[in-house]
Structures are given as C-alpha cells and as structure tokens.
Structure 1
C-alpha cells in the first residue's frame, strides 16, 4: 500500500524493451518500460494489453493502420490483434497486462523478458 513514484522508478533503469515490474493487482502486472525504435510483430492470443504513455510518444502499428499515442494518452490492444510498437525517440510507458502475458507474444527475440525484474 505504498506510493509508487513512477518518475523515480523510470530513472532507475535505461534499457529499452525490458519491462520492469512495479505492481500487481488481481493477477495483472503493472510494468514500466522505455521503448525506442521498432519492436517485433506479435499478438497475445488470450490477453489484452494497455499502454499508457508517461513521457514521449510512440506509434502502435497494426496490420491495417497506425496510431500515435502521446504523453497522457493510452491505447488498449485487444487480445489476438497483431501489433508492433515503434518509438522514434525514447518513450516511457506504463503497461497493464495479465501476469502470464509474454511481452513478445511468444516470438523468439533477443529482447524477450520472461521474468521481469521488480523495481
């Protein structure tokens, strides 16, 4: 029941595409990540995924369109929808997803994090 200072947590790491666990609720993980460049095309067959931009902006690519998400905005990717985040510059995001969610959707990628570090 402690307060979590997101800005302070974000200063504690610099890796991109390596989500860090900052909280849990009812089987969901709350994570922080810094993203830059392209990620991999992937989908989550059984889980929705929420991205809330804290700082910067990023583009969520879908197979049929793209949407830009700015600081203070969020996007929810429904389960089963193929997507690929892209950030031109470093962007800080808060993610909410089921604790069982594989952030690459099972795609073999060197940035895949199976057990996110708690910060």
Structure 2
C-alpha cells in the first residue's frame, strides 16, 4: 500500500518521476517539471492528468499543430501515434499512465 502526497513531490530535474505502479506492463508515474518535454509519439496510449499547475499541451492532428491549456483536474488522452509535447506554465505535477518504457 502507498499513500502519495502529490503536492509535496519535487524532482532534482525537469520530468523527474516517482514510479507508483506497474500493472501488467502499464505504468503509473508522478512527474514534476518546470520545463517542456520533447515532441514524441508513444508506442501505446497515454493518459496525462494535471494534478498541480498548468500545462500547455501541443499536439499534431491531421498535420496541423494545435494546443490546449490543461488545468488542475484536466486529462489529455493521446492515442497511439498522437505526436505531442507538454509545456508546463511554471512548476507542474502530472500523473502519466502509459505502456512501460514509453518515451
């Protein structure tokens, strides 16, 4: 059993992660960051939940770049092949559920 106080989690570097669970190859990780990630496409599906802060999520759909501002409680779902990049607006904490070993 674990109890995790996400608001107190910080990392020594951007996108530092706390592994919460690995269930049959699907990982759940808590990330802290204050810097953008990189454009990427996951091997599988990804669920991205903003727990603290704001994140501007950029994604490409039908060849066009779009973005949406995600706030606390918002969820971004990336299907297989969805190219995307997260840009936190200051410090943010996010919960990411995805296939183990994804970028």
- Give me the TM-score of the superposition, normalised by structure 1: 0.73
1:39-118 map, 5 Å = 39-44=37-42, 46-63=43-60, 64-101=65-102, 103=103
Moved over 6 A (4+): none
CA RMSD of aligned residues (A): 1.8
- Give me the TM-score of the superposition, normalised by structure 2: 0.83
Higher strand share: 2
Q: Which consecutive unaligned segments of at least 5 residues does structure 1 have?
A: 104-119
Check if 1:20 corresponds to 2:21.
no
